Structure 1
C-alpha cells in the first residue's frame, strides 16, 4: 500500500488530477485485457536482454514498454487516418499496438520488430485475439529491420513509440522517403514520445498537427499529401 500511495502521489504531482485518472483507467483496462484474453503485453523488457537481427542498431533501441490502449484509440481517432490503408507499427514489441489497431478496425496491420523473441511473443498474443477480429482482417508481425524493410504503395499509416535514437531514426526516414518517391501517396504518422521529431521533419516531406496529451503520453501527428505538401 505505501508503494501504491507513493506512485499515486508522484503521478498527481507530475501529471495533475485529470491525466492521473486517465493513467489509472488505462492501467486497469490493459490489465483486464491481458486477464480476459490470456495475453502478455504489460511487462517491460530491457533492450539488453534481447537478441536482435541488427546488432549495430541495438545501442539506440529502446526497451519494450507497452503503449496504453486508451491513448492509442484516441490517437487513432484524432489522426484521421483511414482504416482501409495499411497500418505499420515500427518496433511492435509484444503486439499490443498491432492488436489494438486490429480491434479498432484497421483492415491490414503489420508489426515490424527486430527482436525475434518479441516477434514470437506478439504472434502468440495475436492467436489469442484473432477470434475477436473481423474475418477480413489481415494482421501479422514480421521480424525485420525498419530501416531496411520494403514499404509498399499501400503502407500509409505509421505508428512509432520512440523506438530508437536519432541515427536509426534518420535511416528509417530515409528508407520511408525512398518509398514515397517510388510510390507517391498520402501518409499519416502517429509518433508517441516524439523525442526525435526534428529528424523526421527534416528527412520527410511532412507537416505536424497539434499534439495530443493523454495520461502519461504525448503524441505527435504528422501528415503528407503529395497534392499539397
Structure 2
C-alpha cells in the first residue's frame, strides 16, 4: 500500500496545521493552569517528515531528551510522542515543584511522575483538538516515559510503526511565560490506514 501521508497536498496540510494551532492553544491553556502562570505560544511549525529525519530535528541522535510516548486507540490507531530537551524539562518540573528553575533534575519517582503528567496533558491537548475536529473517538493509553538519547527513544516507535508507515506529522511548539521558553516537539504517528480515516473525517480525504 502506498504511504497515504506522502500523497497529501497543500490543502490537507493546511487542515493539519489548523489542528496544530488549536492543539497548541489548548496545550498553552493547560500548561498555564498546571503551572499557575500566564503562558503564551508561538505559532507552531508543522511538517511531514520521515522517521530518519526526526533525530536531526532534535539536535542529533546523541542529544539527551525526555520522551513521553502514548499509544492511541479508538477510531484510529498509532502513537503520539512528546519530546522535551533537558532545559525545557528542568524548567517545567522545577516550576511545577516550586523549586529554583536552575536546579538540576534528580530523576526520582516524583520527577518522572511530573514529566509523565506534563507530557500527558500536552499530548492530550492535541488529541482533544483532533477528536473535536474529526468527531473520531481517540483514546490514549497510560504514557510511558523514556530518558535517553534521541536516537534510542525514537527507535521504539520506528520499529513498531515502520512496518506500516515511515512518515510522521511533526509539530514544533514553543511556549513562553515572557521570560523563559519551553520547546516541545510533538510527533503524531498514525498507522497507514489511519491517515486515510483521518483525512476522510476532516472532509479532505
Give the TM-score, by structure 1 length: 0.27
Higher relative contact order (CA 8 A, sep 6+): 2
TM-score scaled to structure 2, two decimals? 0.29
The structure with the largest alpha-carbon Rg is 1
Higher strand share: 2
